[in-house]
Amino acid sequence: MSHKPGKDWNEIKSNDSWAIFKIMAEFVQGYESMARIGPSVSVFGSARTINDHDYYKKAVNISRMLAERGYGVITGGGPGIMEAGNRGAQEGGGQSIGLNIDLPFEQTGNKYIDLDSNLKFDYFFVRKVVFVKYSQAFVVLPGGFGTMDELFEALTLIQTKKIARKPVVFIGVKYWQGLIDWIKNTMLEEGNISEGDLDLFKVCDDEVEAVKYIDEFFKTHSLTPNF
């Protein structure tokens, strides 16, 4: 049986090369659009959270308070916690930014995103770079695989000093406790992280406490893009 690449394989390689230009275009669009906004906070969480859920309400409250303090709010642009973040930003009179991703089940931008701040992406990795570059802090509410991907991306870059230290706040002690216990009792015990890495994030339930943590941080740290 021959494993020699055929015509189809060569076509794939050619398409891969041309895809670089599409990737570059997404970066250019994202950077140019986001450069116009001021200091902002990313709000991560599940797209499946309904609007009468306690976590949805917490996301609205936190985002409203952040907006009232002059922060823009960046979300993934979809429903659930993302919608709550954008909704709170608009209620607080702040900038409301959505970084939408093109998905097979057709995520569309929620109605609380500012018209000039509704960006669309094909590539998750480009979208994550834009999230991290322009976020001064990260508020993480309960979510699934996508939320985990985003929060650990932020923590990894902070841990490895690829970006400066930024506040990372987990909202929902009950939801996150199992993960926090595993980080402490397994990752730390196995020596895969350091004791100081546990200080890279805060876990709480109270919206005021979360916003105060971010405010206090920036009394002694600068508000600038991350790279």
pLDDT per position as a tens digit, 193-215: 999 999 999 999 999 999 999 99
Tokens of 53: 């859920």
pLDDT at 103: 76
Q: What pLDDT, in 10s, does the model give residues 148-160?
A: 999 999 999 999 9
Instruction: Name the residue range of residue 55's domain.
Output: 11-217
Tokens of 51: 């609007």
Structural domain includes residue 212 = yes
Which of 8-17, 18-27, 173-182 ranks highest by mean pLDDT?
Answer: 173-182
Per this entry, what is the length of the chain? 227
> Could you write out the DSSP letters of every residue in the chain?
------HHHHHHHHHHHHHHHHHHHHHHHHHHHHTTS-SEEEEE--TT--TTSHHHHHHHHHHHHHHHTT-EEEE-SSSTHHHHHHHHHHHTT--EEEEEE--TT-----TTS-GGGEEEES-HHHHHHHHHHHEEEEEE-S--HHHHHHHHHHHHHHHTTSS----EEEE-HHHHHHHHHHIIIIIITTTSS-GGGGGG-EEES-HHHHHHHHHHHTTSS------
Structural domain includes residue 180 = yes
Structural domain includes residue 2 = no
pTM: 0.90
CB atoms within 10 A of CB 204: 16
Structural domain includes residue 5 = no
| CATH number, domain with residue 48 | 3.40.50.450
Structural domain includes residue 4 = no
Structural domain includes residue 227 = no
Structural domain includes residue 225 = no
Pick the range with the lowest mean pLDDT from 5-9, 67-71, 109-113, 161-165.
Answer: 5-9
Total structural domains within the chain: 1
Q: What pLDDT, in 10s, does the model give residues 62-86?
A: 999 999 999 999 999 999 999 999 9
Structural domain includes residue 224 = no
175 confidence band (pLDDT: 50, 70, 90): very high
pLDDT, mean of residues 162-183: 97
With 0-12 CB in 10 A as exposed, 13-18 as middle and 19+ as buried, what is 125? Answer: exposed
